[in-house]
Every structure is written in structure tokens, then in C-alpha cells.
């Protein structure tokens, strides 16, 4: 089966139903059943967050309880959804407080302290790799 977002036609990432149910508005969550297979649209410019190819249901940004960090105009841009740590906080920890690695970020921001990524992260995955990426990006800006 094609995994492309029906709106922007980019390939999405498969996400577990438990994650989708937890993050969408309650009335939509009620309609999700166990056979549904949801994908997260990874295109920053597309308004669709989750799509389900079995019944062609589309869940856009307005129907999701949290901003999706990589989507254009996400505010705030959470990197760690469990501890509500934003990209800005991580960048500040690196630039202002001198954090150099994951351990520093965990100590300074409290990121990754309540690992419930399967429920809280829009992909249902641990935010660790994205924290690492954000640290690298911030370190890059200070040379």
C-alpha cells in the first residue's frame, strides 16, 4: 500500500494507534479503531498531521492537541514532549549555559525525565535523536 500523504504526496512515517489516540482531540480519538493504520506527514509545509489510508481519514493540525515540532509555524517547538522542553531551551542551554552533550541537556532542561514517548511524542518515538541533532545545530552556530 502507498504510504504517501494524500494531500502533499510525500512519504509519511507509520505511527502506532495508541500515540494517535492520545494526541488527537477526543471526538476524533473515539473514532479510531484498532485496524486503522496511521501515518504522520513529515512535510513541514503540509497541514495534515495524521492520515489513515484504510478509510482515508485526514487529521490536520487543528485536530491535534500539540504543535508538531517540524511543521512550519509550530509554536512552541517541543523537542521533548514528555518534559515539555523546546528547541529554544536546548539551543539556549548550549549557547548560554555551555551544554555540550545529551547529559548536560538532561541536567539543565529536565528533558527525557518522564519517558512516555509512545504517548506524548507525535511519532511515538524517543526524542533523544532529535535532541542530539538540536545540540549539534546549536554547537555549529557557536563554532
Pairwise CA distance, residues 65 & 67, whole Å: 7
Q: Which stretch binds Zn ion (CB under 5 A): 19-27, 47-55, 74-82, 111-119?
A: 47-55
Binding part of the chain for Zn ion, among 6-14, 32-40, 120-128, 132-140 by CB under 5 A, reads 6-14
Q: How far is the CB of 40 from Zn ion (least distance, A)?
A: 9
Residues 6+ apart with CB under 8 A from 36: 17, 52, 54, 55, 57
DSSP run (H or E) holding 30: none
- Per CB under 5 A, contacts with Zn ion among 48-107 are 48
Q: What is the dihedral of CA 123, 127, 129, 131, to 10 degrees?
A: 130
Which of 20, 32, 46, 123 is close enough to bind Zn ion by CB under 5 A? 46
> Contact residues for Zn ion (CB under 5 A)?
5, 7-8, 41, 43, 46, 48
Amino acid at each position: 500500500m502507498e504510504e504517501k500523504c494524500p494531500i502533499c504526496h510525500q512519504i509519511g512515517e507509520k505511527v502506532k494507534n495508541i500515540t494517535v489516540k492520545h494526541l488527537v482531540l477526543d471526538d476524533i480519538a473515539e473514532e479510531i479503531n484498532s485496524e486503522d493504520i496511521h501515518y504522520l506527514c513529515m512535510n513541514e509545509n503540509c497541514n495534515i498531521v495524521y492520515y489513515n489510508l484504510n478509510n482515508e481519514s485526514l487529521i490536520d493540525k487543528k485536530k491535534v492537541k500539540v504543535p508538531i515540532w517540524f511543521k512550519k509555524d509550530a509554536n512552541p517547538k517541543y523537542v521533548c514532549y514528555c518534559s515539555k522542553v523546546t528547541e529554544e531551551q536546548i539551543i539556549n542551554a548550549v549557547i548560554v549555559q555551555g551544554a555540550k552533550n545529551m547529559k548536560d541537556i538532561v541536567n539543565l532542561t529536565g528533558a527525557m525525565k518522564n519517558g512516555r514517548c509512545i504517548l506524548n511524542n507525535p511519532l511515538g518515538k524517543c526524542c533523544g535523536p532529535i535532541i542530539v541533532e538540536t545540540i549539534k545545530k546549536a554547537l555549529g552556530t557557536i563554532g
